[in-house]
Structure 1
């Protein structure tokens, strides 16, 4: 059986492609592993600064389905990245993953174009469920 046949046999089907904007290398690694192993998502790019993240997302518009954005980066912030990607393909999702999950910040992120917001200290299971749902016809918002 081919590698493609094995993937289908295991039920993974088409894998989603994600970009991560996160300044902490250990959190980037955790998210990469979590998405790959539990949500069927492959990380195709990452950045620790808002300018680098924005440039990568715009230059690789056909290379990602999901962008996970932290609010506090080495340079700039996640709101800038969100605002820079307001116009994107209908299937592309911008998700904030931050430990600064106040009700006001959730509203601000939604205003700047976030499709969902997850607290990275308490809502990683919900993030995985959200990512798994991206293959379905309806994508929930959080």
Structure 2
């Protein structure tokens, strides 16, 4: 199984470091870059040289928001897998994220295991939105 080249957009250094360690240890994930604000993430994602399979986005960032990152990712010429990982995964936030092109929305407090399973299914070749529907 090929590791998913994953880009993480998360403003908290502690959470970002823990997430990277967890995903790379327990899932088929290779983190290829990170950002803590919307503009850095959008610049990296829209560069033609950037290679990635999955983007994991938090909603609240140091600058801008994850919603702007979702908009930029959905406008990319090639479809990418994009998920939201947030402490604010309310029904309204989930609905808005899905409208903006997120494949799934995971709650940081109790759905990390579901995110790991999702990554495994993506790496096994299942499609993004149906990989854990």
The corresponding residue for 1:102 is 90
1:84 matched to 2:72: yes
Whether the 8 Å CA contact 2:44–2:50 is kept in 1: the answer is no
Give the direction of change, closer, same or farther, for the CA distance of 1:14–1:62 in structure 2 (3 Å limit).
same
Paired residue secondary structure (1:42): strand
2-structure distance, mates of 1:15, 1:35:
10
Which stretches in structure 1 are left out of the alignment for 5+ residues? 1-12
1:75 matched to 2:63: yes
The corresponding residue for 1:40 is 28
Give the direction of change, closer, same or farther, for the CA distance of 1:60–1:72 in structure 2 (3 Å limit).
farther
Paired residue secondary structure (1:19): strand
Whether the 8 Å CA contact 1:19–1:45 is kept in 2: the answer is yes
State the aligned residue count: 129
One of 3, 22, 33 as aligned partner of 2:10: 22
Kindly state the Cα deviation for residue 40 of structure 1 after the two structures are TM-superposed: 1.5
RMSD: 1.4
Kindly state the Cα deviation for residue 28 of structure 1 after the two structures are TM-superposed: 0.5
Runs of 4+ in 1 over 3 A off after TM superposition: none
Which stretches in structure 2 are left out of the alignment for 5+ residues? none
Q: TM-score, normalised by structure 1?
A: 0.85
2-structure distance, mates of 1:36, 1:137:
18
Q: TM-score, normalised by structure 2?
A: 0.91
